[in-house]
Structure 1
Amino acid sequence: MCNVSTVDSRGGAKVGPLHGIRVLELGSFIAGPFAGQLLADYGAEIIKIEPPRAGDPMRRWGITKDGESLWWPAIGRNKKSVTVDLRGEEGQRLVRELAGSCDVVLENFRPGTMKRWGLDYETLSAANPGIVVVHVSGFGQTGPGAEQAGFGSVAEAVGGIRHTTGSPDDAPARAGISLGDSLASLFAVIGTLAALTERSTSGHGQEVDVAIYEAVFALMESTLADYHVGGVLRTRTGSVLPGVAPSNVYPAKDDAQVVIAANADTVFARLTEAMGRPELATDPRYATHQARGARAQELDALISAWTATLESDDLIGELQRHGVPVGRINTAASILTDGQFAARDMILWRRNGNGTELPMNGIVPKFSRTPGEVARTGPALGADTEAVLAEVAGAEQLARLRSDGVI
């Protein structure tokens, strides 16, 4: 069952910890809108500005059903869709006026675009000193690379993670998801929350500058020091970390695969008990971390020979009983039937605009008192245009703007 919380007077949604925060989301695709999704999950009011007629390309990206993306209901969830043509002066003026009542403006256009439109921080903060403007771009707002176009895939290469991903015998690999964009979104949310916290004492907003390549680079651990000081260039190592064993992917009898991480001495001893080979824990070839690391392939072969004799459920159960960290390599199919995901409300079933019931990821992290809720899937294009713009324009003006194609 879902957590129960206070009812939000804005429309029945469960109140999240960001209730009362108003965010103007500009931009498209993933890096900005996923940050908007997360802020919406936590209860912020998200006003998403989209181009009239076309909308965010995410409405059509990926797998579609009846012409609607199966991703859009999730990345657009809990948001209000307002159509405004930002390329013209009237549209820019409408958005400037909306920004006057917002806490945050979140954008992921190429640097310089906001300034050309009169939506830069200096202009917006003159009317609203507390506003926080969050920029997400490939290479940041400054520096010689700032004006380069930068998608997440390119930023993953520049930030260093592609060099370490995949098999050493193949070209650098990408993850099967938009990793760079999603990392930038996470840092955008962190930066937003930090700036709002600081504003509560200073009373002033500020700019938050998230570069996708830097979001990737922030995860690169000690690779610089390893190279510059230690003389080691970390590169692609497939499914293992050199010198850390056993920690790999192992086959089960039913063709499922599991990850076993038993590289600590005590955990390795528990693994050998589960295998019925307790003597391996004291064998000089495997008794220490260094010894196991030096014989990782040999040790993996021994473990694989054992795991392949057991069905995956039995294998996982046996290792769990012995306190050995183990996990199935899940697919979408197996996640849908996983009891842990269900118990923590990590699979939310909602209907999209076409009436199709579909599963989507739950809210992360969990809040004990203000959990938030997904009360609405990604809305139809322009579903909230009149309701929101009525704050800054009268009915006759809105009718004219719609007739002129501005909204």
Structure 2
Amino acid sequence: MTNTRTAPLAGVKVLELGSMYAAPTAGRMLRDFGADVIKVEDPNAGDMARQWQPQKDGQSIGYVRLNSGKRSVGVNLRSAEGQKVVRDLIAQSDIVIESFRPGRLEKWGMDYDTLAADNPGLILTRVSGFGQTGPYKARPGFGTVAETTSGFAFLNGWPETPPTAPPFGFADSIAGISAAFGSAMALYRRSATGEGSVVDVALHEPLMFILGDAILNYTTTGEIMQRHGNASGAASPRGIYQASDGGWLSIAASAQSIAMRLFDAMGRSDLKDDPRYATNEARMANNEIVQQTVREWVASMPRPEVLAILDAHEVVAAGVNDSSDIVGDPHFLERTLSAVTSTPLGAGALVPGPVLHMDGYDGPVYDGLASVGEHTAEVLAERLGIDGDAIASLVAAGAVSESGATER
């Protein structure tokens, strides 16, 4: 359930045809702000993400995070009857999110023009590896490929180590958030013009954007930005440092005033007048000397003592948190983490909540996870007016499943 009284997307009907990661992330973003998200799954296997590891008691933890609170309809999209059910559901939807390889919907007779003929205000949000246009549009693509083709993996890591992909769905998450953002913009435009839209998200493009100046730097200077580890290629000192007790912390003296306060905190106000430390340009030219100076100071004390000194001097710094640090932190417990209830994961399960906060909206509740097809009868009756006998015929034909084909 969601607190829909003040939810900004209350009443918005979303049909999620996507599986795995990126498209379901977009669905969750919209659901977090009040949309009714109906997830269409294969009647037998369900979303492949139900099989992801890690699991607890046969339930994928990652699947719970992305899909709590959505309703599940089991539909066989390989059958003509199942395709008709989906087309009819699309005709009753505000937003459709899909993540098939480009051309798949068209092969099923679900190109945008055909769908919009029945639903002129339809917003079709399409998430794919390389987008709906361009020479690579037909290529399959997952997040790992996007993380390499975008340039992210090349920049991630240390100069002496290989390019490094992240150990989580980074590209998919950024693409999913971007798809939700595009869907919301399309809704806004529709409110002004009455026109629907196609939102086209390629996995690599949002990730390429957040890499900062890499492309602009190359096209203006001819220089290829390289890996810097935990440091920065733009400002110094910046990085992750180890204290005497073995704890790690980050310091980001990316502004001149912060760097000067850091030197005061270190008891080294003399560095402010040292030509090697006085300006960011000088510090970058002597970055290793600067970094070694900071490393030695941090290593001289336990982490709590270092952080207390930095905080007193208003230096931007924080501990390097693991999951246990996060769930024990009162700030994150108050505004960031939400309970997940009524799932096989049991009591105490927490998940990061919405990615932003809006005044006047209390946020979603994550209170249940549907089995495959659990809401088929409910949704078909509610949206399409299909009665029990008609649903039974669809089930008998293998076009839909009613509930519980798999719990994973």
TM-score when normalising by structure 1 = 0.93
Q: Which runs of 5+ in 2 are unaligned?
A: 401-408
The farther-off stretch of 98-107 and 230-239 is: 230-239
* Structure 1 residues 242 and 218: alpha-carbon distance in aligned structure 2, compared to 1, 3 A threshold: closer
Residue in structure 1 matched with residue 341 of structure 2 by the alignment = 351
Residue in structure 2 matched with residue 403 of structure 1 by the alignment = 396
Counterpart code for 1:401? L
Counterpart-to-counterpart distance in 1, 2:114 and 2:354: 34
Contact 1:353–1:380 (Cα < 8 Å) also in 2: no
| Alpha-carbon distance, 1:105 to partner | 0.6
SS at structure 2 position matched to 1:229: helix
Counterpart-to-counterpart distance in 1, 2:2 and 2:361: 16
Counterpart-to-counterpart distance in 2, 1:64 and 1:386: 29
Residue in structure 1 matched with residue 288 of structure 2 by the alignment = 297
Residue 223 of structure 2 corresponds to residue 232 of structure 1? yes
* Structure 1 residues 203 and 264: alpha-carbon distance in aligned structure 2, compared to 1, 3 A threshold: closer
Residue 109 of structure 2 corresponds to residue 80 of structure 1? no
| Alpha-carbon distance, 1:189 to partner | 1.0
Q: Which runs of 5+ in 1 are unaligned?
A: 1-9
Contact 1:386–1:398 (Cα < 8 Å) also in 2: yes
Contact 2:17–2:40 (Cα < 8 Å) also in 1: yes
SS at structure 1 position matched to 2:277: coil
Residue in structure 2 matched with residue 306 of structure 1 by the alignment = 297
Residue in structure 1 matched with residue 52 of structure 2 by the alignment = 61
SS at structure 2 position matched to 1:118: coil
Residue 199 of structure 2 corresponds to residue 215 of structure 1? no
| Alpha-carbon distance, 1:212 to partner | 0.9
Tell me how large the CA RMSD over aligned residues is.
1.6
Counterpart-to-counterpart distance in 1, 2:29 and 2:202: 18
| Alpha-carbon distance, 1:396 to partner | 0.2
Residue 374 of structure 2 corresponds to residue 383 of structure 1? yes
The farther-off stretch of 388-397 and 321-330 is: 388-397
Contact 2:22–2:175 (Cα < 8 Å) also in 1: yes
| Alpha-carbon distance, 1:403 to partner | 2.6
Q: Which one of the candidate residues 325, 332, 335 is aligned to 1:341?
A: 332
Q: What does 1:88-107 correspond to in 2, within 5 Å?
A: 88-107=79-98
Percent sequence identity over aligned pairs? 36
| Alpha-carbon distance, 1:215 to partner | 2.0
Between Structure 1 and Structure 2, how many residues are aligned? 397
Residue in structure 2 matched with residue 3 of structure 1 by the alignment = none
1:1-35 CA-partner distances (Å, limit 9, x unpaired) = xxxxxxxxx87656421111100000200010010
| Alpha-carbon distance, 1:224 to partner | 2.5
Counterpart-to-counterpart distance in 2, 1:365 and 1:283: 42
Counterpart-to-counterpart distance in 2, 1:264 and 1:27: 42
Contact 1:13–1:375 (Cα < 8 Å) also in 2: no
Residue 32 of structure 2 corresponds to residue 45 of structure 1? no
Q: What does 1:367-378 correspond to in 2, within 5 Å?
A: 367-378=358-369
Contact 1:243–1:290 (Cα < 8 Å) also in 2: no
Residue in structure 2 matched with residue 250 of structure 1 by the alignment = 241
1:77-96 CA-partner distances (Å, limit 9, x unpaired) = 22111111111110111111
Residue in structure 1 matched with residue 405 of structure 2 by the alignment = none
Contact 2:6–2:360 (Cα < 8 Å) also in 1: no
1:99-125 CA-partner distances (Å, limit 9, x unpaired) = 111101100000111111222211110
Q: Which one of the candidate residues 117, 122, 125 is aligned to 1:134?
A: 125
Counterpart code for 1:56? D
Residue 191 of structure 2 corresponds to residue 203 of structure 1? no
Runs ≥4 residues deviating over 6 A: none
Counterpart code for 1:196? L
Counterpart-to-counterpart distance in 1, 2:226 and 2:259: 27
Contact 1:72–1:378 (Cα < 8 Å) also in 2: no
Counterpart-to-counterpart distance in 2, 1:334 and 1:14: 34
Counterpart code for 2:79? G
Counterpart-to-counterpart distance in 2, 1:179 and 1:229: 28
Counterpart-to-counterpart distance in 1, 2:275 and 2:289: 14
Counterpart-to-counterpart distance in 2, 1:213 and 1:300: 33
Residue in structure 2 matched with residue 149 of structure 1 by the alignment = 140
Contact 1:140–1:146 (Cα < 8 Å) also in 2: yes
Contact 1:250–1:258 (Cα < 8 Å) also in 2: yes
Contact 1:31–1:185 (Cα < 8 Å) also in 2: yes
| Alpha-carbon distance, 1:308 to partner | 1.5
TM-score when normalising by structure 2 = 0.93
Counterpart-to-counterpart distance in 2, 1:126 and 1:185: 27
| Alpha-carbon distance, 1:331 to partner | 1.1
1:369-388 CA-partner distances (Å, limit 9, x unpaired) = 12331243332222211100
SS at structure 2 position matched to 1:286: coil
SS at structure 1 position matched to 2:359: coil
Residue in structure 2 matched with residue 362 of structure 1 by the alignment = 353
* Structure 1 residues 312 and 132: alpha-carbon distance in aligned structure 2, compared to 1, 3 A threshold: same
1:332-351 CA-partner distances (Å, limit 9, x unpaired) = 1111111221121x111223
| Alpha-carbon distance, 1:243 to partner | 5.4
| Alpha-carbon distance, 1:150 to partner | 0.8
Counterpart code for 2:398? G
| Alpha-carbon distance, 1:221 to partner | 2.5
